[in-house]
Chain A
Amino acid sequence: MNFQLDEKRLALQAAVREFAQNELAPGVIERDEASEYPLELYKKLGSMGYVGLPYEEKYGGSGGDYLDYALAVEEISKVDASMGISYSVAMSLYGGSIINAATEEQKLEFLPDVFSGKSLGAFGLTEPNAGSDAGGCVTTAEKKGDKYVLNGLKCFNTNGPLADHFAVYALTQPELGAKGLSLFHVKKGTPGFSIGKIENKMGIRAAQVSELIFENCEIPESALIGEEGKGFKYAMKALDGGRIGVAAQGLGIAEGAFEIARKYLMTREQFGKPIYRNQHLAFKMAELECEIEMAKYMVYKAALDKSEGRPYTIPAAKAKLVCTNAAMHVTTEAVQMLGGNGFMREYHVERMMRDAKITQIYEGTNEIQKLVISGALFK
């Protein structure tokens, strides 16, 4: 069992880190405050091949694997968690929905734009009355001749206002409930499809999250991805991949906050000595360091399981649970350790704490993750 990242992966990790430090770090506080997404930076990442990491080149990807992708999300999230989730949603939730179920023709049509980083992708599953109970969707897709007509409202869609491509789940057979859910590709600007309220959030404020409104939105039947009625399965599979992305995001947030705290503890002096000399703080950091390292191996393992063709649903759920809890815990402690300064925007950790909170909630709340994990335990 080799726990070392090979040279090439280390090079990739270092390259993303360099980009994140030089390009994403400046202005991250301002973007959070103004709730502004740096689309040009995302596109720049794409132009260098860093978007689309886990996907094949024929679909516009970079021919890497899921661990490469997790490493990239991690490095980005150390600096800018909003960019981290935006990237993850486009790749795992939108990308994962399409790649697992579409025909070759559809993949070649709907993926290259997003995997090359030229445009963003978004995922439309959640509704006001369908959160954890994703099967409780009421958005419908009525077949009319050679078209489907979509009606309904999706909410909390990351990248909504900015994406060109959407993976939307709607009921083709409303009477069957979850078993009547189907997956569709919808393009921005389709008549009858509009962006609704843009959310004003506690954290990941630079990421754009909004409602998707469908009012007699007509899409061609070629926009159906996979089979009717199999939508719920496709959504769950996409979420499995997405959980690895969110876990990597949480890991990155935790590491980013940890490093800020570590440096602070070495330079801040009180009572004539740097505060890390206080055993309580040093011991606390030792505990957090262990927590982060445990989380790291959870997400790297889940990513490798997926890359190497092993079942990854449970590993992904575990990684998501552990990494996002680590993110919340480490950032909260970091704010406390930085004292009054930790409360101030310019020290970053308060933003990281606000960013961490949602990671415990989206893409399956941590309670859902426990449901998934315990569900497998008692068979």
Chain B
Amino acid sequence: MTDFKGGILIFLEERNDKLSKISLEMVAGAFALAKEAGCLVTGVLIGNQMEEAIETALRLPINKLVICSSGSLGDFDSDKYARVMEKCYKEINPSLVLLGSTSVSVGIAANLSVRLSKGFVSDCINIETGDEGFCLIRPDATGSVHQRLVSETGESLICTVRPGTFSEDDLEYSDITPEEVFVPWEDDVSKALELIETVYEKKQYADITKARVLVSGGRGMGSAEAFGQLRILADLLGGEVACSRACIEAGWATGPMQVGQTGKTVHPELYLALGISGAIQHVTGMKDSDLIIAINKNPAAPIFDVADLGIVGNIENILPVLIKQLQERKGDV
């Protein structure tokens, strides 16, 4: 029988000496699960020059914090990080290894999975506790069905979890400092993979499948100028601009921005559908979004059948006001 005795081992990801948002979400989620399962939570922080991140980590509601810091660990190399995680795993013997799904974690998780010969489930959208241990929920490969997955062998599992699954707002910082453990790093001689250079640059085209927020325009935007306004709204919401096929045909947007049957399938935390009728070809590509808000002047537009909040109104009027209110809000904080 599987139990949760080993507890949860979380990979805490830091970027530029700050704990990443997704790591905080993972801790929030793990805390809730640990309470249910009656088990412990251990966080692992790996990197170089992480004073501020360590400080934040020490206020997290976790039981133990493992720190592995070294000059050669600032490169996010999956093999190195997986070796550290392997060491921690062997000490702690967790029932679940939890990582937020990022460009860094998935490589670590796969590497660790093979090192430990333990199952790896990626892109989870929820975790539950049950009779068979931790139960991981994720969409199947077709994307149309959610599966509950558990360990086949009763052994522990490694999983990566989608951003936005757990909420940072649910995190309760603690007065109780977790046990701090320092793990030394032994550099190896042979380097099959080496970081040569880090470049901080913005991508030329946005990858809408990775965006947490999508501001998407349809034929109802009316013109290229109006469509151009969506960039401002997207920036205010920390998101990207997407569109329906009609905008590609109208020449207001380019192929990579299209959502739908002949475009991309997205599942952002927020999908703002502006002037999109909601034909099935489009909806297929975005119905998995966490929150859908739609504005359309046609009350019978099918988009309202899938929107959590629908506004029947004129986008030309609402958009500038929405932008203004958001700008004021940002100014306040």
A interface with B by C-beta (< 8 Å): 22, 25-27, 29-30, 267, 269, 346
Contacts and interface: CB of A to CB of B under 8 A. Distances in A.
B248 A26 contact: yes
In this complex, the interface size class of chain B, counting residues with CB under 8 Å from chain A, is under 10
Interface in B249-296: 249-251, 254-255, 277, 279
Contacts of B251: 26-27, 29-30
Contacts of A30: 251
Contacts of B279: 267
A269 B299 CA distance: 13
Contacts of A25: 248-249
Interface string B224-250: 000000000000000000000000111
Nearest to A347: B249
Contact of A267 (B248, B254, B277): B277
A27 B251 CA distance: 6
Contacts, number: 16
A267 B248 CA distance: 18
B298 to A, nearest CB: 10
B199 interface: no
B254 to A, nearest CB: 8
A154 to B, nearest CB: 35
B192 interface: no
A30 B277 CA distance: 25
A346 B250 contact: yes
Chain A binding surface SS class: helix
A274 B250 CA distance: 23
Contact of B249 (A26, A267, A269): A26
Contacts of B300: 269
A346 B252 CA distance: 12
Contact of B255 (A22, A29, A267, A269): A22
Given A25-B248, A27-B251, A267-B279, 13 more contacts: A22-B255, A25-B249, A26-B248, A26-B249, A26-B251, A26-B254, A26-B255, A29-B251, A30-B251, A267-B277, A269-B300, A346-B249, A346-B250
A-B complex: 7 closest residue pairs judged by Cβ atoms:
A27-B251, A26-B251, A267-B279, A346-B250, A30-B251, A26-B248, A22-B255
A135 B248 CA distance: 47
A266 to B, nearest CB: 9
A38 to B, nearest CB: 13
B159 to A, nearest CB: 37
16 contacts: A22-B255, A25-B248, A25-B249, A26-B248, A26-B249, A26-B251, A26-B254, A26-B255, A27-B251, A29-B251, A30-B251, A267-B277, A267-B279, A269-B300, A346-B249, A346-B250
Interface in B147-196: none
Contacts of B250: 346
A269 B278 CA distance: 14
A257 to B, nearest CB: 15
Contacts of A27: 251
A28 to B, nearest CB: 9
A166 B275 CA distance: 50
